[in-house]
Structure 1
Amino acid sequence: MSDTAPVAIVTGASRGAGRGIAVALGSHGCTVYVTGRSEKVGDHALPGTIYETAQAVTAAGGTGIAVRCDHSDDAQVQALFDQVRAEQGRLDILVNNAAAIYDELGMPGNFWEKPLKLGDMIDVGLRSGYVASWLAAPMMVAQDHGLIVFTSASGAAHYSMGPAYGAHKAGMDKMAFDMAVDFRDAGANVAALSIWMGALATDRLLAMMEADPDKFGYLRDQIETPEFTGHVIWALHSDPELHSLSGRTLIGAELAVKYGIQDEGGRQPPSYRDTHNVVPHVHHPLVIR
């Protein structure tokens, strides 16, 4: 591994989980490319822009670089990776976090009674993660080092907010598994894995909790800061035994215990294993080519 600052791309990092992960990686000295579509206040109903996140990464101790990128446009994503290759000559960490999330996701009703646009997360979320990984892999294999992370959740293994959301999460878990098979087959020192994040203290969820405390108030005892997963990702990247975990879907709260990571205020967020009796699927080792 190079002695230079690790280089990371965090997609969908204007706000929410992506912003927190980017800032946490910055606190560990990483150069972080922050992608998203929000460039100015008003570009999205929720606060946050790629430039604000990039500034926060730098303030945390890293180097934040904002890149406006619509992850539904393959040409823009290709340009992002071309920029990283030209400016840094390497890529150490890719966090596939961008997803088309709409407020209507949590509305009552069955999937056919909700807007068709909820299916967009199969494009920006699932396919976009495949495209970014497809572009990252050649760089990582050539340098014989790298970590690809998919930000997932327990909805991969139980019903949560409908089939589009479930397909998105389950698909990311499976892509991590299959990509790890290919990296091993190539003899490459590159890991791919998926992390189940807990309920996150994002502007969106905090507003939901305030609007309906009877429904969402219980989450106050379980919530994770958006930065929490970023510290877990850094610990994974630094783990000499990382490749024994490649291909797996892991619960972030359990990884935090393993690596001695606590959340803000010394909290230890609970695992889905304890709160919901849910664990990730274990994929079979059979390989058919």
Structure 2
Amino acid sequence: MAGELHGKVALVAGATRGAGRGIAVELGAAGATVYATGRSTRAQRSDYDRPETIEDTAELVTRAGGTGIAVRVDHTDPDQVRDLVRRVESEQGRLDVLVNDLGGEHLMDWGKPIWEHDLGKGLARLRVGIEAHMITAHFALALLSRRPGGLVVELTDGTAEVHEQYYRSDCGAFFDVAKTAMHRLARAEGEELRPFGGTAVSLTPGWLRSEMMLDHFGVTEENWRESTTAPEGFGVSESPAYVGRAVVALATDPDVARWNTQSLSSGYLAKVYGFTDVDGSQPDAWRYLQEVEWVGGSGSPDDYR
């Protein structure tokens, strides 16, 4: 898909690391101009206190073949988001793809019921995971909707089907509410963009080998299979490039409107479009969880790659 997005402009909100960085880089590899936003810069770390920066992401985008532009933005601040979109409009005159990957996993009290979860952290999680998405959509969709063919991707964790059937108590209520809200937000955006020729979807990666996850298990992208602490299910994990390739497949599909308002996963789209992860496989973590891990079924992670 190299060059297929030449002349197109994307905004990846939350592109510092993880899925956001993977998506930004793959959009760049397809030729897009990508505005990579976040709060971690070389001059100042965010409260994640991680080494990854938006400048790093922008350089990776450019190195991949696109044009990366790093902009420090706190997406919970409407003024900063308004100014960002005005800058995109001034510099590019268009917006073709919006990816909302604003999370806040550092704000979680994992495994705690709502009455034991730190309330301040939980409410902050909702502010980043829901309110910031809506603030960004409010300003960005006014520009994106001016041209037919615009695409909005709301990143989440789990498909609508998974959220309907299972409650992940290890994640808790604040996480669950934030992630399930993305399906309804994509539905609303899709319905409102439909008259303007736009498409909106919610999209989930599987078990993502983000920088934070690799650090957690003491491995790198080069030796992740050698972890001695990761559970068996980690064998069906995927690199951030995989969900990035899912977004590129959607953005380059002339019939992308067929997906409007739907809930999608990287593993499912890989089968539809034929793209692979960096190792040539097509991992489908959600099928593995639903058919094996969560129900005690037979099969190994390698059966779902």
Provide TM-score, normalisation by structure 1: 0.88
The Cα offsets for residues 130-156 of structure 1, whole Å up to 9 and x where unpaired, read as 121121222222222300001112274
Counterpart Cα distance in 2 of 1:200 and 1:216: 13
Structure 1 stretch displaced more, 111-120 or 228-237? 111-120
SS of the residue corresponding to residue 261 of structure 1 reads coil
Q: Does 1:261 align with 2:264?
A: no
Change in Cα spacing, 1:276 to 1:50, as seen in structure 2 (3 Å) is: same
**Pair 29,270 (structure 1): closer, same or farther in 2 beyond 3 Å:** same
Q: State the partner residue of 2:181.
A: 171
Gaps in structure 1 of 5+ consecutive residues:
279-289
Number of residue pairs aligned between Structure 1 and Structure 2: 273
Secondary structure of the 2:49 match is coil
8 Å Cα contact 1:41/1:48 also seen in 2? no
Q: Kindly indicate whether residue 140 of structure 2 is the aligned counterpart of residue 130 of structure 1.
A: no
User: Counterpart of 1:110 in structure 2: which amino acid?
Assistant: P
Superposition pairs of residues 269-280 of structure 1, within 5 angstroms: 269-277=283-291
Query: 2:185 is matched by which residue type in structure 1?
Result: M
Aligned to 1:46: 50
Task: State the alpha-carbon separation in 2 of the partners of residues 264 and 63 from structure 1.
Answer: 22
Maintained 8 Å contact 1:8/1:30: yes
Structure 1: which amino acid aligns with 2:212?
Answer: R
CA distance in 2, matches of 1:28, 1:99: 25
State whether residues 8 and 31 of structure 1, in contact with CA within 8 Å, keep that contact through their aligned partners in structure 2: yes
Indicate the residue corresponding to 2:32 in structure 1.
30
Instruction: Report the residue type matching 1:203 in the other structure.
Output: E
- 2:246 corresponds to 1:232: yes
Question: CA 1:118–1:87 in structure 2 vs 1: closer, same or farther (change >3 Å)?
Answer: same
8 Å CA contact retained: 2:107, 2:124? no
- Which secondary structure does the structure 2 equivalent of 1:200 belong to? coil
Would the aligned equivalents of 1:29 and 1:62 in 2 still touch at CA under 8 Å? Answer: yes
Q: CA deviation at 1:239?
A: 1.2
**What letter matches 1:6 in structure 2?**
K
1:204 maps onto 2:184 in alignment: no
Asked if 1 retains the 8 angstrom alpha-carbon contact of 2:13 and 2:100, the reply is yes
| Fraction of identical pairs, as percent | 35
| Contact kept in structure 2, 1:12 and 1:98, CA below 8 Å | yes
- Listed one character per residue, the Cα deviations across residues 80-136 of structure 1 (whole Å, up to 9, x for unaligned) are 100000000000000000122216443x43222222213322111211111211212
* Corresponding residue for residue 198 of structure 2: 190
Q: Counterpart of 2:200 in 1: which secondary structure? A: strand
The answer for the alignment partner of 2:236 in structure 1 is: 222
- Separation in 2 of the partners of 1:139 and 1:271? 35
Query: Which stretch of structure 1 is more off in the superposition, 95-104 or 197-206?
Result: 95-104
**CA offset at residue 40 of structure 1?**
1.9
| Counterpart position of 1:282 | none
| Stretches of structure 2 lacking an aligned partner (at least 5 in a row) | 220-226, 293-305
SS of corresponding position for 2:98? strand
- Give distance in 2, aligned partners of 1:35 and 1:156: 28
Contact 2:5 2:31 in 1 (8 A): no
Residue pair 1:254, 1:271 contacting (<8 A) in 2 also: no
Q: Deviations over 1:131-184 (max 9, x none)?
A: 211212222222223000011122744323011111111101111112212222
The alignment yields a C-alpha RMSD, in angstroms, of 2.2
Confirm whether residue 57 of structure 1 aligns to residue 61 of structure 2: yes
Number of the residue aligned with 2:148? 144
- Letter of the structure 2 residue corresponding to residue 47 of structure 1: P
SS at match of 2:94: coil
Distance, in Å, in 2 between the alignment partners of 1:112 and 1:55 is 43
The verdict on how the C-alpha distance between 1:103 and 1:164 changes in structure 2, with shifts beyond 3 A counting, is closer
Contact 1:156–1:173, Cα closer than 8 Å, also in 2: no
| CA drift at 1:46 | 2.1
Report the alpha carbon displacement of residue 242 of structure 1 after superposing the two structures with TM.
Answer: 0.9
Quick one: which of 7, 10, 14 aligns to 1:5? Answer: 7
Alpha carbons of structure 1 residues 273 and 220: separation in structure 2 relative to 1, 3 Å:
closer
> Which structure 2 residues correspond to residues 38-117 of structure 1 after superposition, within 5 A?
38-40=40-42, 43=45, 44-102=48-106, 104-106=108-110, 108-116=111-119, 117=121
**Which amino acid is the alignment partner of residue 159 of structure 1?**
Y
Please state how far the C-alpha of 1:208 moved relative to its aligned partner: 2.7
- Contact persistence 1:41–1:47 (CA under 8 A): no
- Cα distance, 1:73 vs. partner? 0.6
Please give the alpha-carbon distance, in whole angstroms, between the structure 2 residues aligned to 1:225 and 1:38: 21
